[in-house]
Amino acid sequence: MSGAPAGGPAVGVLALQGDVREHVAALTRCGVRAVAVRRPEELAEVDALVVPGGESTTIGKLAAEFGLLEPVRDRIKTGMPVYGSCAGMIMLATQVLDGRPDQPTFGGIEMAVRRNAFGRQVNSFETSVELAGLGQVPAVFIRAPWVEKVGEGVRVLGRVAGRIVAVRQGNLLATAFHPELTGDLRIHRLFVDLVRATVTPTEE
């Protein structure tokens, strides 16, 4: 893996489905080099990864087809920072309560999530979420999951109507909502700060 590029770390956005351009734009505004990741060789060139929203079963299937499933799992095990939004949260879960029996995920966060827990597309909504350390953050929920239980190593960062919608475990961060659609950069900045604290640039 390459070290951080000049000016800061390289953050990949998994570009198989979802709001890829919006995440790239938000990360760029946070001062890092953001690049689309579709193949293992592209994953090897980044220091961290964002897994955007979309459809979790499709993302899992495409990740396997593109040869990314095991490389991402391996990078997570060795400490790569990853942020997942909406379907990305599902992809980081160790248990999907209502997923397909053969549904692959990256895992990493000790949590059980429920897909489409807030309802289908017609039940999408916007609200604000009180996030630990960030205050009230605008949030867009689209066919969003929620977290039903977490392991001892997981920190709950935010809830909506009593349901867990934001968590962190070590270098892994996940939200049930889409901050990339609001223009508020605080969650992306939180992740970028995590990445910068984790990545040690390689000396040229």
Residue carrying structure tokens 């198989």: 16
Q: Active-site residue among 178, 188, 203, 204?
A: 178
Cα distances (angstroms) measured from residue 70 to each of 33, 63, 151, 169: 24, 9, 23, 20
Per the CB < 8 A criterion, the answer to whether 109 and 172 are in contact is yes
Cα distances (angstroms) measured from residue 162 to each of 40, 127, 136: 38, 14, 16
Based on the residue annotation, tell me whether 86 is a catalytic residue of this protein.
yes
Whole-number Å distance between alpha carbons of 154 and 99: 21
Q: Active-site residue among 23, 86, 148, 188?
A: 86
Handedness of CA 35, 111, 170, 67 (dihedral sign): negative
Output the furthest CA–CA distance in the chain (Å, rounded).
52
Q: Active-site residue among 180, 188, 203, 204?
A: 180
Based on the residue annotation, tell me whether 180 is a catalytic residue of this protein.
yes
Show which residues are catalytic.
Answer: 86, 178, 180
